[in-house]
C-alpha cells in the first residue's frame, strides 16, 4: 500500500524574475517505495510505482563511516535496470552523493539548464532540482536498503484529492485508460502552472486548455488554470490556433466558476486573441506565406497532419476563429456588454456564411483544407464538427467519414475528434478509438507500461517526445463529460446537463468535483436504461437518456414524468435535483 507524507508547506512563489508570475499552490509529498529489489552486490532497484516529478530523501545509514553512493533516476527500464540511454527526451540522470550517518540527505539530479532556468517555469530553489522518475538505482549502498531509508519527494498541486473523481465501467481497459489520464493531470501539476512536459517546462495555450478541461474533471479549484492563463497573457506562443485557445480557457473558467470578477479583469486582453489583424474583406482569416510556414499549425508533430494542404485561407484556423467569436459573444453578454456581444455575433454570422460557401464541398459533404485546394483532411473536418460549424443535416455524414478515417491525427487533435464523435451519435466509435489495438490509442500507452501520458502516440511518431505530457490525457475529461454524461450547462454549475453516451458499455459509474460539491452518476443498460444521480445542493440538471428500442417513456423514483424524444434521446421536461433514480421503460 502506498504511503503518503506531507513534508513541505504549500507555496505560491514567484516563478522567477523572467516570468514574474505567481504559481498555484504546490506541495512536496513523501512517498514510500512500492518495491525494492537487490539486483547486484550493493546495487538496489527501487520502484515507486508511477512516475512523478521530484527528488529523493536518502538515509541515514548507520555505519561507522559515511559512504558515497551513486544514484540513478529513470523513467524507463532496460533489461531490469534503469535505462541509462533512453530514447528522445525520456529522462535519465545520475548523481553521486555522500551519505550521512545521522540524518537523511536530499538527493537531486544535476541541473538541466533547458528546463530549470527562465523562460522555463521554475520551481522553488529550496526544493532542489526536480525530475520525472519512477525507478531509482542505488549503487554502492553498504548494507540492505530498507524502505524507511528512501523516500521520493514528489511535487503536486496542493488542492488535489485523489478520490474526488472516480470512473468505473463495464470495460476494464477503458478504466485503465481513465486512471492513466487522471493521474497524468495530477502528476503534471508539479510547477503550479500547466506545462508542456519536462523537455521545456513551458506553458503553451493548446496544452493549457486541454489540461484545464481534464483538471476540472479531477479538481474544481481554478487556481492553476488561472495562473497558467496569466502567464500566457504575458508570454504568448506563436501558433495561429493557440491564440484562440486563450478565449477557450476563459470560457471554460466562466462555465466552471461563474466568476464575473475574474472574467471582467481579463476581458479586454481576450479581444487581442481574436486574430482581427488577419481578417480579410470576406470576414475570413488570411494567412501570409510566412504564417503558412511558421504560424498555422493544424496539428503537431507535423507528420500528424493527414496530408493537410496549406493555403492563404486555412479551414482549421478559421474554424478556431469562428468558435472564438461565438464564445466571445457569450462572455461579453455575461459582462453586460450587449453592444459588443451583438457585434461579435454579427461578425461570426458573416464569417460563417463565407466559411460554408468557400470551404464546404457539397458534392462530397466535406470541408476542403482551404481555398484553392480540393484536399479534404481529417483535420479540416474534425474541428468544424467539434465546434458545431457543420450544418445539422450534414453532421452524421461528416461524423461517419471521420470514423472511417480512424485516429489519423495526434493526441492533441484527438480531444476535438472525440468530442465531435460523442456529440454526433458516434459514441461507440469514440470509445473504440480510445482502446483500439495498434500504436495509436491510449490502450497502447497502457500496454506499454506508461504511468503518465505521452506527447505523441508512440516514439516513432515523435522521436524526441516527452513521456510526461498532459495534452495526451484527453480521456480524463472525455469520459466523465460524455460517458457519465455530466457537463456544466450554466456558469458555475448552477445547472448541469446529464446526458450519458454509453456506446457499447453496459454500465458506468463515477463522480466528479464541481464548485458546488461532488456530482455522482451511475447508470446501467439492461432491458431498460436506469440512471441514479446525486447532485450537490444548489444544482439542478437537465437529463437526457439514450432511447432504447421499444421504450415508451421515463420514470423518476417510480413515477412517470413528462419527457419527449430528441433524436436518439429521451429529454425530461423538468429539471431534477438531489438524489434520484431515473428509468426508461
- The rounded mean pLDDT for the chain is 95
CATH number at residue 473: 1.50.10.10
**Buried-exposed string 94-111: b where 16+ CB fall within 10 A, e elsewhere:** ebebebeeeebeebbbee
Last residue of a domain, one of 482, 500, 518: 482
- What value does the mean pLDDT take over residues 62-80? 89
Residue 297 lies in a domain: yes
Number of domains in the chain: 3
> Measured between alpha carbons, how far is 393 from 379 in angstroms, rounded to an integer?
20
67 vs 160, more confident: 160
Residues 513 and 574 in one domain: yes
Least confident of 8-22, 51-65, 433-447: 8-22
- What value does the mean pLDDT take over residues 311-326? 98
The set of cell numbers assigned to 103 is 540524518
Question: Could you tell me the pLDDT band of residue 142, with boundaries at 50, 70 and 90?
Answer: confident
Residue 5 has pLDDT above 80, yes or no: no
Residue 167 lies in a domain: no
Residues 133 and 59 in one domain: yes
Residue 166 lies in a domain: no
Residue pLDDT, tens place only, 342-371: 999 999 999 999 999 999 999 999 999 999
The residue whose grid cell reads 473523481 is 165
pLDDT at 61: 85
Question: Could you tell me the pLDDT band of residue 22, with boundaries at 50, 70 and 90?
Answer: confident
Last residue of a domain, one of 123, 157, 191: 157
Residues 381 and 414 in one domain: yes
Last residue of a domain, one of 467, 482, 497: 482
pLDDT at 222: 97
- The end-to-end CA distance of the chain, in Å, is 44
CB atoms within 10 A of CB 409: 26
List of residues 6+ apart from 412 with CB closer than 8 A: 206, 210, 299, 300, 471, 472
- Percent of the chain at pLDDT above 90? 92
CATH number at residue 11: 2.60.120.260
Residue 276 lies in a domain: yes
Residue 165 lies in a domain: no
Residue pLDDT, tens place only, 369-425: 999 999 999 999 999 999 999 999 999 999 999 999 999 999 999 999 999 999 999
- For 197, left (φ over 0), alpha (ψ -120 to 50), or beta? left
Smallest CA-to-CA distance from 275 within 264, 265, 287 is with: 287
Residue 524 lies in a domain: yes
> Measured between alpha carbons, how far is 384 from 301 in angstroms, rounded to an integer?
21
Question: Could you tell me the pLDDT band of residue 6, with boundaries at 50, 70 and 90?
Answer: low
CB atoms within 10 A of CB 568: 13
Residue pLDDT, tens place only, 241-269: 999 999 999 999 999 999 999 999 999 99
Residue 329 has pLDDT above 60, yes or no: yes
pLDDT at 7: 56
CATH number at residue 500: 2.60.420.10
Beta bridge partners of 561: 554
pLDDT at 1: 33
Q: Is 129 helix (H, G, I), strand (E, B) or coil?
A: coil
Residue 15 has pLDDT above 50, yes or no: no
Residue 434 has pLDDT above 90, yes or no: yes
Residue 14 has pLDDT above 70, yes or no: no
Residues 403 and 501 in one domain: no
Q: Are 258 and 496 in contact (CB under 8 A)?
A: no
Residue 62 has pLDDT above 80, yes or no: no
Residues 178 and 153 in one domain: no
Residue 244 lies in a domain: yes
Question: Could you tell me the pLDDT band of residue 101, with boundaries at 50, 70 and 90?
Answer: confident
Residue 164 lies in a domain: no
Residues 375 and 496 in one domain: no
> Measured between alpha carbons, how far is 461 from 441 in angstroms, rounded to an integer?
13
Residue pLDDT, tens place only, 531-572: 999 999 999 999 999 999 999 999 999 999 999 999 889 999
Smallest CA-to-CA distance from 411 within 366, 476, 321 is with: 476
Residues 460 and 356 in one domain: yes
Residues 54 and 151 in one domain: yes
Residue pLDDT, tens place only, 180-215: 999 999 999 999 999 999 999 999 999 999 999 999
The set of cell numbers assigned to 545 is 437518456
pLDDT at 64: 61
- Helices of type H across 111-259: 113-116, 172-187, 205-216, 223-234, 242-257
Residues 565 and 471 in one domain: no
- What value does the mean pLDDT take over residues 21-46? 94
Residues 222 and 297 in one domain: yes
The set of cell numbers assigned to 428 is 461507440
Least confident of 71-75, 100-104, 266-270, 469-473: 100-104
Residue pLDDT, tens place only, 111-129: 999 999 889 999 999 999 9
Residues 474 and 492 in one domain: no
Beta strands in 502-573 (DSSP E): 507-514, 517-525, 529-534, 540-546, 554-556, 559-561, 563-566, 569-572
- Percent of the chain at pLDDT above 70? 96
> Measured between alpha carbons, how far is 568 from 499 in angstroms, rounded to an integer?
11
Q: Is 168 helix (H, G, I), strand (E, B) or coil?
A: strand
Full domain range(s) for residue 569:
488-584
Residues 44 and 134 in one domain: yes
- What value does the mean pLDDT take over residues 426-441? 98
Amino acid at each position: 500500500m502506498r504511503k503518503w507524507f506531507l513534508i513541505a508547506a504549500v507555496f505560491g512563489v514567484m516563478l522567477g524574475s523572467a516570468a514574474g508570475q505567481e504559481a498555484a499552490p504546490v506541495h512536496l509529498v513523501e512517498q514510500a517505495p512500492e518495491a525494492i529489489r537487490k539486483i547486484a552486490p550493493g546495487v538496489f532497484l527501487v520502484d515507486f510505482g508511477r512516475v512523478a516529478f521530484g527528488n529523493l530523501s536518502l538515509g541515514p545509514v548507520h555505519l561507522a563511516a559515511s559512504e558515497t553512493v551513486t544514484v540513478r533516476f529513470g523513467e524507463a527500464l532496460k533489461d531490469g535496470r534503469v535505462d541509462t540511454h533512453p530514447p528522445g527526451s525520456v529522462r535519465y540522470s545520475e548523481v553521486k552523493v555522500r551519505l550521512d550517518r545521522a540524518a537523511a540527505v536530499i538527493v537531486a539530479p544535476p541541473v538541466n539548464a533547458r528546463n530549470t532556468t527562465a523562460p522555463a517555469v521554475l520551481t522553488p530553489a529550496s526544493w532542489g532540482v526536480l525530475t520525472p522518475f519512477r525507478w531509482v538505482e542505488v549503487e554502492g549502498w553498504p548494507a540492505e536498503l530498507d524502505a524507511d531509508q528512501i523516500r521520493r519527494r514528489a511535487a503536486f498541486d496542493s488542492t488535489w484529492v485523489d478520490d474526488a473523481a472516480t470512473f468505473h465501467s463495464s470495460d476494464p481497459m477503458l478504466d485503465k485508460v481513465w486512471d492513466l489520464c487522471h493521474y497524468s493531470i495530477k502528476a503534471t501539476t508539479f510547477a503550479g502552472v500547466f506545462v508542456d512536459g519536462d523537455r521545456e517546462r513551458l506553458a503553451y495555450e493548446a496544452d493549457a486548455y486541454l489540461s484545464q478541461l481534464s483538471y476540472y474533471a479531477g479538481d474544481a479549484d481554478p487556481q492553476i488554470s488561472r495562473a497558467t492563463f496569466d502567464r500566457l497573457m504575458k508570454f504568448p506562443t506563436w501558433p495561429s490556433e493557440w491564440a484562440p485557445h486563450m478565449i477557450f480557457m476563459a470560457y471554460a473558467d466562466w462555465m466552471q466558476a461563474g466568476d464575473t470578477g475574474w472574467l471582467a479583469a481579463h476581458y479586454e486582453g481576450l479581444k487581442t486573441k481574436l486574430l482581427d489583424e488577419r481578417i480579410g474583406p470576406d470576414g475570413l482569416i488570411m494567412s501570409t506565406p510566412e504564417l503558412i510556414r511558421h504560424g498555422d499549425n493544424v496539428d503537431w508533430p507535423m507528420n500528424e497532419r493527414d496530408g493537410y494542404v496549406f493555403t492563404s485561407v486555412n479551414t482549421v484556423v478559421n474554424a478556431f476563429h469562428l468558435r472564438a467569436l461565438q464564445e466571445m459573444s457569450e462572455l461579453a453578454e455575461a459582462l453586460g456588454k450587449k453592444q459588443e456581444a451583438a457585434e461579435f455575433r454579427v461578425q461570426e454570422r458573416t464569417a460563417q456564411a463565407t466559411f460554408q460557401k468557400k470551404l464546404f464541398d457539397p458534392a462530397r459533404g466535406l470541408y476542403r483544407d482551404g481555398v484553392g485546394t480540393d484536399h479534404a483532411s481529417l483535420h479540416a473536418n474534425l474541428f468544424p464538427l467539434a465546434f458545431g460549424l457543420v450544418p445539422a443535416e450534414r453532421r452524421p455524414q461528416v461524423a461517419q467519414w471521420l470514423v472511417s478515417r480512424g485516429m489519423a491525427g495526434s493526441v492533441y487533435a484527438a480531444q476535438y475528434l472525440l468530442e465531435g464523435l460523442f456529440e454526433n451519435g458516434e459514441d461507440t466509435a469514440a470509445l473504440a478509438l480510445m482502446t483500439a489495438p495498434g500504436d495509436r490509442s491510449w490502450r497502447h500507452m497502457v500496454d506499454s507500461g506508461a504511468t503518465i501520458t505521452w506527447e505523441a502516440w508512440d516514439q516513432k511518431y515523435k522521436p524526441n517526445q516527452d513521456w510526461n505530457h498532459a495534452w495526451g490525457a484527453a480521456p480524463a475529461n472525455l469520459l466523465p463529460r460524455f460517458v457519465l454524461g455530466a457537463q456544466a450547462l450554466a456558469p458555475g454549475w448552477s445547472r448541469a446537463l446529464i446526458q450519458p453516451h454509453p456506446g457499447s458499455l453496459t454500465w458506468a459509474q463515477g463522480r466528479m468535483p464541481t464548485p458546488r460539491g461532488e456530482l455522482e452518476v451511475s447508470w446501467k443498460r439492461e432491458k431498460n436504461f436506469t440512471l441514479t444521480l446525486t447532485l450537490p445542493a444548489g444544482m439542478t440538471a437537465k437529463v437526457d437518456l439514450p432511447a432504447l428500442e421499444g421504450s415508451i417513456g421515463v420514470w423518476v423514483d417510480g413515477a412517470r414524468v413528462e419527457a419527449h424524444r430528441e433524436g436518439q434521446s429521451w429529454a425530461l421536461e423538468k429539471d431534477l435535483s438531489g438524489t434520484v433514480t431515473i428509468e426508461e421503460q
